[in-house]
Amino acid sequence: MGDDIDKLVKWARSQMWTVERDGSNHYQFANPHGDHVTDYPSTPSSQRRWHNLVAALKKAGLRWPPPSKKEQRAQRRKEQ
Amino acid sequence: MSDWNVTVTYRGTLDRETTRAIAEALVNRDGIAANTPDGRFSVAITSHFGGDKAAGDALDTINKALMASGVGSVEPIAVEAMEYDEYERRVREPDYPELMSAGEVAEALGVSRQRVHQLAVDHSDFPAPLYELSAGKLWTAEAIRGFRHHWTRKPGRKPARIA
């Protein structure tokens, strides 16, 4: 699960989300407008809680899972 | 009976402390509270009941957590309940289409890039691109695969026109 959260945090930051780890070892997710979305412990208790986090972030606009390298290239071309 | 996931949506937004307080109150139910961009917030938990009972159980449990975390009594505006396997399948599913540029379409169809553009002109049923950008067109992979499935390939060059 640790690898998953690291991957999610890295991807969210690449999409202009702000992800901060606070003093209680919780991740704070904010969307690209800076609006707080949710909070998640860095040592989550269950896989199901992870699923609920992913569902919540998707609902808040984060694309997940990250597209393949090929799709990311296409996305970059789209943005040019 | 398998467990269910229930997600309940409410009007309003939560601050950092409150999302955490709700999630902590529901930690034994895998709870997460989160804001959505449209001025709403949702709370998702696991229920050990199924169907209607799952929804009732979740509403009751979440309501207690909202009261305990200082949100108070709020009316839900949506309740979504589903068997856990279905919920997990939806969570894992990408929420955007797989895209193909002309080069990838060419590869998928086994033709040259030039032929892709020709096919688009010659075949009225060739998929319309999802995006037309200055850098080129992008199609959904699903549409291209659909075209490939029913496309009757005619090998060889077209016969030259005789004047």
Min Cα distance B141 → chain A (Å) is 10
Minimum Cα–Cα distance from A73: chain B residue? B101
Question: Can you give the pLDDT at residue A74?
Answer: 59
Q: Which residues, in sequence order, are CB contacts of A67 under 8 Å at separation 6+?
A: A75, B94, B96, B98
Identify the domain boundary among B49, B66, B92.
B92
Minimum-distance CB partner of B27 among A45, A57, A61: A45
Domain that holds residue A52: 2-79
Residues in CB range of B65: below 8 A, 6 or more apart: B22, B25, B26, B31, B43
Cβ of B35 within 8 Å of Cβ of A36? The answer is: yes
- Can you give the pLDDT at residue A2? 66
Residue A71 near chain B (CB below 8 Å): yes
- Buried b / exposed e over B30-43, threshold 16 CB at 10 Å, is bbbbbbbeeebbbb
pLDDT 10s digits, B60-112: 999 999 999 999 999 999 999 999 999 999 999 998 888 999 999 999 999 99
CATH label of the domain that carries residue B55: 3.30.70
* Residue B160 domain-assigned (yes or no): no
Confidence (pLDDT) at A9: 96
CATH code for the domain in which residue A73 is found: 3.30.920
Cβ–Cβ below 8 Å for A53 and B32: yes
pLDDT by residue, tens only, chain A of 80 residues = 667 899 999 999 999 999 999 998 999 999 999 999 999 998 867 899 999 999 999 999 999 988 776 666 655 565 55
**Is A63 part of the contact surface with chain B (CB cutoff 8 Å)?**
yes
pLDDT at B134: 92
Q: Given an 8 Å threshold on Cβ–Cβ distance, is B98 in contact with A51?
A: no
Domain span at B44: 4-92
**Can you tell me the distance from the alpha carbon of A2 to that of A27, in angstroms, rounded to the nearest whole number?**
13
- ipTM score of complex: 0.84
Give me the torsion for CA of B120, B126, B128, B133, rounded to 10°: -30
